[in-house]
Homo-oligomer: A and B are copies of this chain.
Amino acid sequence: MDSQAQLSDTIASQCERRLSDCGIRPTGQRVRIAVLLLSAPQHLSAEQILDSLRAAGARVSKATVYNTLNLFAERGLIRQLSVDGSRAWFDSNVDAHYHFHDLTSGALIDVPVPDVEFSRLPPPPPGTEVAGIDVVIRLRKKA
């Protein structure tokens, strides 16, 4: 076994562990998706994940990708974002953070929490409480 394969095994093992910890049975497809998505903080669409896995030679169905992403999101392993109306983006960074959205390229860039500070926020309407705050800073090319 070369070091590349060994490294992959390690990552796969870590992912299996994370899935198990969340009460998710670490099946082949789920681990593959986890390895792809959880290896680094990133934003991927279902289509990108499907293409990536198939390009790597895996046999995966669209249904499984969606089922898996929804399951991961439900268990808090990933976060589903709605920044543009076109499709969902799946964010492997589940720590609180915000986003730049580059309108030219469509790219999403993480903004760490300490980089945004609110000195005033409205009180939530009666009977409700704040579940979370999403901030999307839209970017265009500088004039």
Contact = CB atoms under 8 A, between A and B. Distances in A.
Interface residues of A, number: 40
Contacts of A104: 128
A122 to B, nearest CB: 4
Number of copies: 2
B130 A120 contact: no
24 contacts: A82-B82, A100-B122, A103-B131, A109-B125, A115-B120, A115-B121, A115-B122, A117-B118, A117-B119, A121-B137, A124-B142, A125-B139, A127-B141, A128-B139, A129-B140, A129-B141, A129-B142, A131-B138, A131-B140, A132-B138, A133-B135, A133-B136, A133-B137, A134-B135
Interface of A: 80, 82-85, 87-88, 100, 102-104, 109, 111, 115-122, 124-125, 127-143
